Structure 1
Amino acid sequence: MPPAVPDPAGATPVPFNVPQPAGNELAYLAEAVGNRHLSGDGPFTKRCNAWLERETGARQALLTHSCTAAMEMAAMLFDLAPGDEVIMPSFTFVSTANAAVLRGAVPVFVDIRPDTLNIDERLIEAAVTERTRAIFVVHYAGVSAAMDEIMAIADRHGLFVLEDAAQGVAARYGDRPLGSIGHLGAVSFHETKNLIAGEGGALLVNDARFIDRAHILREKGTNRTKFLQGRVDKYTWVDVGSSYLPSELNAAFLLAQFEKVEEIQRARHRAWDRYHRAMAPLEREGLLARPSVPQICAHNAHIYYVLMPTMERRTELLRRTKAAGIGAVFHYVPLHSAPAGTRFARQHGALPVTDDLSARLVRLPLWAGLEDRAIDAVSALVADVARG
């Protein structure tokens, strides 16, 4: 059972996240063990790939052991090389930048929009140089970046687009699922995401020219997939690659989550909406800002955050939530201000919105089984701190 409402002394905590089975997880794990196929690309992996292709429209979906792995594969498929540049936001998890850095490429950070906290599409074109090869787009909190504008920029300059849709499963931009719009997409099934496998991710291949090589990279640089398909009489080492396959146990657990996606999403939206209603009076009073979702976007209730008016007020909220046993966190330390960011990357101009909003943001607990009374208690504490 999810935790109940916290009392003032913090005796009954509300964790930031509680990963939960949704239905057939244990039965499918037992079936996977009974199949005696625990390594990658077994029947459960294939069923998950097929589900993702149906739901996203991707030409090919390939489960990976993490979203990080999927983004590293994307950087290899784009043939990023030392000195190449990749435009991306600084307000993202380190994996987005590492995918480029591991190929010797240089992340070029541009600022984010103040409404969605996504890359500001109006700033991308000015950051393009003769070395630019790709744009890595991050869909923060399951709210899409302005993909029509970004794809148009990419087309004008002959650039590849990777959608970091780690937080974007079951979210849409218009009628298009996130991860299905760029040349490649990467999604996450980490235990903090909407659909979970403990650890896990997937590469979504939307441009058919990358399909064959994606299989090779994922299979340690061999053409094993062609061999299994009967397209070659033996398989051998043909390219760079690594071991990006997840265990069949992860895939078995994940398939059970896929089967309950509508139920999980309803529960998450109910919790998100309850937070949003509770924060509305505080926003009207100018005491904080709530998430903003453009009309063209259908979000997936992945994150509920508030933007406090100052960093000091954010610090006080984090202190109070910790004392009450509430798992609120900040998100993220911008990459341009990190030690590795100054070594491996550069920024295009000042990043005032990134610096400001990252210093004021607080993520609140949110998962599919979060009870109303816990949401109300968290909201009451936020209101108490906001009103000072």
Structure 2
Amino acid sequence: MFLIPFNKPSITGKEWAYIQDASKEGRLAADGKYTRKCQLFLEKMYGFKKTFLTHSCTHALEMAALLMDLHPGDEVILPSYTYVSTANAFVLRGCKLVFADSRSDYPGIDAGNLADLITDKTKVIVAVHYGGMACDMERLLAISQNHHLYLLEDAAAGIDGYYVYKNQAKRPIGTFGHFATFSFHETKNISCGEGGMLVINDTKFIEKANLVWNRGTNKKDFALGKANKYEWVSIGSAFAPSEINAAWLWAQLEQIEAIQASREKIWHWHKANLPILLEKFELEWMTVPKHAGNNFHLYYGLAKNLKHREQVLNFLKQKKILAVFHYQSLHSSPYYLTQNSKKLDLLQAKKYSEQLIRFPLFNNLDTNKLKRLLLN
């Protein structure tokens, strides 16, 4: 039993009321009032061209891969240090994964070495905004445009995250790529238990996206009277979530500013106190790149090596505090190695896989209690 869990989903107080309201509307299936409220809110707040709520960020990634009409043998460049969903979406289309290393200063993709990975078969670059911190988007955007490649932002943890230009102007994560994906999993800043969103910034894909989102049918046009038959016209799947999920999500989105303010306060508490409270372990503490606006999704430290990390995690466990490590690099995963005989040497990805420690961070975390446990 942990006295400080790693995560605890936030509840604003209106979630159940909105679910009951959705029930009274007589529609709990997909694409009802609350789905549209959430999508419109996010489009207006962040300037997304078009959004589609999905069951998960995994589904959003799979939907994006379908929209790009990828074929077996097409190559996709993505960071090795990412969640498996980033890779699975393209493996399901028969694509070849080309793994890139992370940066030395934070786990985002190293844009400086991408040019060497591009071939005549490359179709997509995936920018994973690790922990909600923006990748070097100006550089990635230039590379994708110069080589006529799709740019997909995997912003699973990136809601309310920003890219910061040298003149300090900010641009929301998810507005750079042809597509972007977000997660509303219970571990994210804004959540509905399980949920996600696909963002489409290239408007030529919106019509096709409506078909793919609706199991490959022309349901949207039929409902609007633009088609006289409801029929199968495209490949697709059941990507759209129920109104129950959307209603819960709407209660969260209404309070996004309060939730973010709470997380910001706790993040800064971690920054000021954890290095002192855990001084004996001599961890290297996270930094936020100058080009990334912090959305306060996570706080991490780096141990010296794998054995050292286990010592830190065990110490915290004894204090009844649950801290965790994060991704295991995909280029060294059992599945990838069974499919590829060539071993890759990605030093930074290996470093983060073996050394990174994530500390509890959720919007009602009791920092006084955390401090007492660490001092006890």
TM-score interval, normalised by the smaller of the two chains: over 0.9
Task: Return the TM-score normalized by structure 2.
Answer: 0.94
1:26 paired to 2:21: no
**Cα gap change, 1:295 to 1:375, in 2 (>3 Å):** farther
Root mean square deviation, CA, Å = 1.9
SS in 1 for 2:285: coil
The worse-fitting range, judged by mean Cα deviation, of 145-154 and 52-61 is: 52-61
Structure 2 residue aligned with 1:384 = none
Cα distance, 1:208–1:19 mapped onto 2, change above 3 Å = same
User: Structure 1 residues 26 and 346, CA, compared in 2 at 3 Å: closer, same or farther?
Assistant: farther
Matched, 1:166 2:156: yes
Matches within 5 A, 1:1-388: 13-174=3-164, 175-280=170-275, 287-344=282-339, 350-377=345-372
Could you state the TM-score of these two structures normalised by the residue count of structure 1? 0.91
Q: Percent identity?
A: 41
Contact 1:282 1:288 in 2 (8 A): no
State how far apart, in whole Å, the 1-side matches of 2:2 and 2:59 are: 37
Quote how far apart the aligned CAs of 1:118 are.
Answer: 0.3
Distance change in 2, residues 1:177/1:332 (3 Å): same
Partners of 2:2 and 2:322 within 8 A in 1: no
Provide closer, same or farther for how the CA distance between residues 71 and 380 of structure 1 changes in structure 2, counting only shifts above 3 A.
Answer: farther
In structure 2, do the counterparts of structure 1 residues 12 and 118 end up closer, same or farther at CA, with 3 Å as the change threshold? closer
CA deviation after TM superposition for structure 1 residue 99, in Å:
0.5
- CA distance in structure 2 between the aligned counterparts of 1:144 and 1:177, rounded to whole angstroms: 9
Partner Cα distance (1:374, 1:313) in 2? 25
Q: Which runs of 4+ in 1 moved over 6 A?
A: 282-286, 345-348
Greater mean deviation of Cα atoms: 307-316 or 242-251: 307-316
Q: Which amino acid letter does the alignment assign opposite residue 155 of structure 1?
A: Q
Q: Secondary structure at the match of 1:124?
A: helix
Unmatched segments (≥5 aa) in structure 2: 165-169
Name the counterpart of 1:8: none
Aligned length: 371
Task: Give the unaligned 5+ runs of structure 1.
Answer: 1-10, 382-388
